[in-house]
Amino acid sequence: MLSIIVAVLAVILSFFYLKKSSSKWRITIFFVLFNWLILEIGVYFYLLCVVHSGNFLFLIGDQKFLDFLIKKDITQSIITQKNPHNSFYQIDPDLGYTVGQDKSYWLYHSSAQGLRANREYALNPDPNTLRLALFGDSFVFCDGEPLEATWPYMLEQAVNGLEVINFGVSGYGLSSSYLRYLKEGQQYNPDIVFINYILLADRDWIDGSLLGGTDLRRSTLYRPLLTLEGDKLRVRHFTPLDLFKPDLREEYLYHPLKLAHSILGCPFFSFTNTGLAIKNIYLLRRFNQMLANQQKDPDYQRKRLEYNNKMIQDLLDQTLKQHATVVFFYSQDFGDLPPSLQTILLQHSSHVIYIDGAKLLNSIFNKLNLKPKDYLNSTNHYNPIGNRVYAEAMGFVLKHNHWGSGKRSFEFCASTNSFQNTAIKPCP
């Protein structure tokens, strides 16, 4: 806006100079300044359209009036929860966001406990029921399908003596799943903790990989921000409004992507609408390449693995205290995991099961001669056929292992198609 005012003043001054003398160079200056004014006005309307679209990451922190409009847009769209998608999720000070309580959106309904369920659960499980708590992303939540067509629901219905609690949330990674277990999952005293991640993904980091090309008005950008202080993991709450803080923007966006000291930081690319539009277009187009370069950085990978190992170690220590077994269902062969992570899992082998989920599911799909179009829905998640296979695969894992210890010691009894607490009554 200020650049337009400056351009208007420049045109007015050049016009008065032109009236005094209509020399060729004064006509040229007036023509250039007038066209600059028209360009600045036109480009400003383009920037307003970018703000309206929500993809305004690289506009933030450049012009005060645009910042005001962006903040207003974020606040109205997220905090007031007017958008149906946003309203299904609940902003949480520890988790960033989670499934809201008693909410409905599209095919989804949540319970009063903020779970994808049609009933409520007691905190303490029934002595005769094996309790499985699921944590993970949209493949645990089961995007694009009603409750009855989800694999957790099918799994519980397929066998007796099994209770499946779905803590899955679309968009979650390892860090959010880990934090939801600590905050909510532990309360329900599960015998088995299932997580479909074991390595940190891009969604676990507040950086360009999460923010770039994203509508910043979505509630799913409210995230936990993890830091490692000594040997302690610390958590703070990130919101899209934090991007207006220069220090945070520098640390988590510009510095990792090596944008802080580029030519795009010069005043022209912030003060003028034309420069800002060029900056926005260029950065959006170059974003993927800069991200790829960042992820090849050894220091970036080392830091990521350090966080990863600490989180897994903490998770396994906590589940051990609760006498729970952790099942990692991840799309990678155990031998391909980082050696340091393999060591941690082996040290906790008494209460850890690792499954190459992609290999297991694909082997079943291939055996049934199913193609992706047969088992994926319109959201690129499993449809009822795919979820049936997923439920059967998990059922196979559950049935062929012993779970728990002491007063809660479960085995599968084929004769009754049920899990039996053998500490109370052995299988017939």
Tokens of 365: 């799909």
Number of helical H runs and strand E runs in the chain: 16, 14
The DSSP bridge partners found for residue 90 are 98
Q: Please state the φ and ψ torsions of residue 81, each to the nearest 5 degrees.
A: 55, 45
User: Within 10 Å of residue 185's Cβ, how many Cβ atoms?
Assistant: 24
SS3 224: strand
In this predicted model, what pLDDT tens digit does every residue of 239-261 receive, in sequence order?
Answer: 888 989 998 888 877 877 777 66
Q: How far apart are CA 120 and CA 343, in angstroms?
A: 38
Quote the strand ranges of 7-161, DSSP E: 89-92, 96-99, 104-105, 108-109, 130-135
According to the model, what pLDDT value does residue 82 have?
57
Which residues in the chain show pLDDT less than 50?
none
Per the CB < 8 A criterion, the answer to whether 201 and 337 are in contact is: no
Q: How far apart are CA 424 and CA 426, in angstroms?
A: 7
According to the model, what pLDDT value does residue 248 have?
84
HSE-up of 243 (CA within 13 Å, CB side)?
Answer: 28
In this predicted model, what pLDDT tens digit does every residue of 317-332 receive, in sequence order?
Answer: 999 999 999 999 999 9
| SS percent in the chain: helix, strand, coil, step 5 | 55, 15, 30
According to the model, what pLDDT value does residue 26 have?
77
Rg of the chain's alpha carbons, rounded to an integer? 27
Ordered domains of the chain (ranges, CATH):
2-79 (no CATH), 89-202+301-393 (3.40.50.1110)
**What DSSP assignment string belongs to 242-309?**
GGGSHHHHIIIIITTTT-TTSGGGSTHHHHSHHHHHHHHHHHHHHHHHHHHHHHT-HHHHHHHHHHHH
SS3 412: strand
Q: Find the helix or strand (DSSP H, E) in which 150 lies.
A: none
